Chains A and B, each alone.
Chain A
Amino acid sequence: MRRMDKRALKLRDLVVLTEECAPLAEVPALDVAAGEALGISGPSGAGKSSLLFALAGLAPRMRGSVLWGDTDLSALGTPARAAFRARHIGLIFQDHLLFEELGALANATVVAGFRSRSERRALQDEAARRLSSLSLPDDARDVSRFSGGERQRVAVARALAHRPSILLADEPTASLDSANAEHLTQLLLAEAHQAGRTLIVVSHDPQLLARMDRVITMSHGVLVNDFKGGSQ
C-alpha cells in the first residue's frame, strides 16, 4: 500500500496516564486490522477519548506500546510523534477546533504551512477537491459564519487533505443534528470501506456505532467488551 503500511494497530499492555501518573485507560491487548472501522463506546469519563488521543501520540504519559505497523508511538519523542501524525493520522475533534479567522479552504489546508512546497500543492488540490465533494462553499467567508454541519465537514476535509492512512475521530457527531450526523457517518465509513483507511471513532451515538465493523466498550478506564458485527 501507500509508503510503508501504518494502518494496522497493535496495542500491548497500554496504560494511558495523566501528567500526575494517574491511570486514565488500560488496554492489555487490542488489534485493529488495516482498513477496519472501530467504534469505542462507553459512559462519559470511561477513558475513551484518552485512549483515542494516546493512539495519536497525544497522551502526556503512557506505558506499553502503541504500534502502527512497525512504528511504536510510545517509544517516540514528541517531535517524532508530531511528524508521525503529520504523515499518517487524520484527526477529527468533537467541537471541530477550526481556526475561526480563516475560510474553509484555509482551514482545510492549515497544515500546509509546515509542509514542503511540493506537498503544499498536492494538499491544496486535495483539500479543494474534498470541500467541493462535501458541497462546501469555497469562498473567503470565515468559518465562524458556518453552520455546525458545515464546520464539521470542513474539519473532515482538513483531516483528510494530506491523505492519511489512519482516521481518528472524537465524538464527531456530538454537536450535529441527526441529518448532519447521518451524513457524516456515511462519509467516515466510506473512508474506511472505500479508501481503505483505518477508522477509529469514539462516540456515544448509537446510530454511528451500529454502523461500525466492530465496537469496543470501555468502563472506568478498562476494556469491558469487544463486539464484532456492525455494517458488514
Chain B
Amino acid sequence: MIWADLTPGVQDALTLAALLCPIAVLGAVLLQGYAPWPLVAAMLRRFRWTALIFVAVVAGSVAIGVGLIAQERGLRIGTARAADGFDIVVTAPGSEVTMMLASVYLQATDAPLLDGETYAEIAGAEHVALAAPLAFGDSVGRAPVVGTTADLVTHLAKGPLEGRMFTARHEAVVGAMVPLRLGESFEPAHGVGDGADDHAHDVDFVVVGRMPVTGTPWDHAVVIPIEAVWGVHGLADGHDAGHDHEDHEAGDHDHGDDHAAAEHLGPPFDPAYFPGTPAIVVKADSLAASYALRSRFTRDRETMAFFPGTVLSQLYAIMGDLRAAMSVMALVSQALVAASVLVGLFILTRLFARHLAVLRALGAPGRYLMAVVWLFSSVLLGAGALVGLGGGILATWGLSRILSARTGIAVPATFGWAELHLVAGFVLVAMVLALLPAIAALRLPVLARLRA
C-alpha cells in the first residue's frame, strides 16, 4: 500500500525514526521542566570506573551484533560479485554446487570432461559471445593454475592488464594478489596444496601480465593458455599440429625454438585434438539468450548448464534459514545482554540510593528521581551503543580484510540500515527497561537510607 510505495531508503529511515521516536518521547516526558544534568554529570564523574565498565560491556555486545549483520551481508555481496563474470557454466552432468565452486571459486575437484565436439557445438552456437574451456589441477605455491583462453582473461579482468596477455604457451598472466613478479618464471606443481607434486612437470613458465584486482578468487590464480595445461600433461593441444608448425611433445621445453613462429592459442579448437575440459564458461550476447542457452545445453547424460548466480541464490536460500537462526541467536544474546544491563542498572541505582533518599527528603517529586536514574542509565546505554556501533564498523572492516585474505573473495565492509536498526532497537529496549530501576528507586525506603 502506501508503505510499499516508498523507496527502501525512505522505509529504512522511517523505521529508524520509529525506533528512536519513543526514546525521545520517553526522555521528554521524564525530563520535562527538570534540570537533572548537573547532578547526573557529577554522579557519572564520581562513578566513572563503574560507568566505563558498564559502557564497555554494552559497547561489546552492540559491536558483536553490528559486526555479525554487516559481515554476513558483506560475505553475501562478495561471493555474488565473484560470480558476476560467469554467466553460464557448462559441465558434464553432476553437482552444480561442486562445479560452481570449481569454476568460479577455483576449488579444485575431479570432474568428468566435456569433449571437443561438445565444445565446438557450444562455441559455435548462436548468441554465444564467449565460450572458454577451463582446466584445473596444477598449482604454484598456494596459487591454483588455471588454463583457459585469453578471451576469458580479458572478460574477467574488466580492465587493462599490467604487462600483456599471454601469446605463447610458456607465458602466464597472474591474478592481482599472486606473489609473482612480471618476468619471473615458475614451474607449476601437479595437484594443489600439500599433496602437490613439485617436479611432475618439468616446464617453466614466465609471467608476462597481471590482472587488475577483480575481487574474486581469480585474484589468487595463475592463468596460462589451456593448450599449455594440456601440453604439460602429455595431451593433444586442441589444434591440428600440421597447421601449427611446431610439435607439442610434453617435456620437450626448449622455448627458444617455440618463439620462432607465433603459436596458435585459443579458439577455434579442432575437436579431433581437443583433450577435454571439465567446464566451459559461456557468455551470451543477451539475457534472453542466456536462458535459451542454458536450456539448450542442459541435456541428460551429456551436459549440464547452470547460472552460478542462481546456484548461489539457492545456497543463500539455505543460508537464509541459517541467517534466520543466527538472527534469533543474535536477538537472544542481545536480550540476555539487555537483562544483564538491567541487573547492572539495579546495582548502579543502589550506588546512589542514598542520594535519591536525600533528594526525596528535600522534596523531590517521584518523576524527578526517575529522571535522574533514567538519565544516568541512558547516558551509559547511549554511550555504549555509539561506541559499539563504531566498534562494530571497525570490526567489520578488520574481519572483511581477514576474510578477503582467507577466501580470495573481496568481502566489502559495508554499513547498512540493518545495523542502525539493530542498535536503535537495542537502545529503545534498554532505555525502556531502564525505567524499571528508575521506578524501583521510588520504592526505596527513604528514612532507612537517611539514617543508615
Contact = CB atoms under 8 A, between A and B. Distances in A.
B261 interface: no
Interface in A51-68: 53, 56, 58-60
Nearest to A60: B447
B363 A89 contact: yes
B360 A99 contact: no
A97 interface: yes
Given A85-B363, A97-B354, A102-B42, A112 B446 contact: no
Interface size classification for chain B: 20 to 34
A91 B34 CA distance: 22
Interface in A94-150: 97, 99-102, 106, 110-114, 116, 120
B361 A91 contact: yes
Interface size classification for chain A: 20 to 34
A46 interface: no
> Chain A at the B interface: mostly helix, strand, loop or mixed?
helix
B20 interface: no
B365 A101 contact: no
A101 B358 CA distance: 14
A61 B361 CA distance: 15
A59 B35 contact: no
A99 B38 CA distance: 12
Contacts of A120: 35
Given A49-B451, A58-B447, A100-B46, A113 B362 contact: no
A99 B39 contact: yes
Given A59-B447, A102-B42, A116 B364 contact: no
A82 B366 contact: yes
Contacts of B354: 97
A99 B360 CA distance: 13
Contacts of B447: 53, 58-60
B23 interface: no
B68 interface: no
Contacts of A114: 34-36, 363-365, 368
B294 to A, nearest CB: 72
Given A53-B447, A84-B363, 15 more contacts: A53-B450, A58-B446, A78-B366, A82-B364, A85-B361, A85-B363, A86-B363, A97-B358, A99-B355, A100-B46, A101-B42, A101-B46, A102-B38, A111-B359, A112-B35
Interface of A: 19, 49, 53, 56, 58-60, 78-79, 82-87, 89, 91, 93, 97, 99-102, 106, 110-114, 116, 120, 158
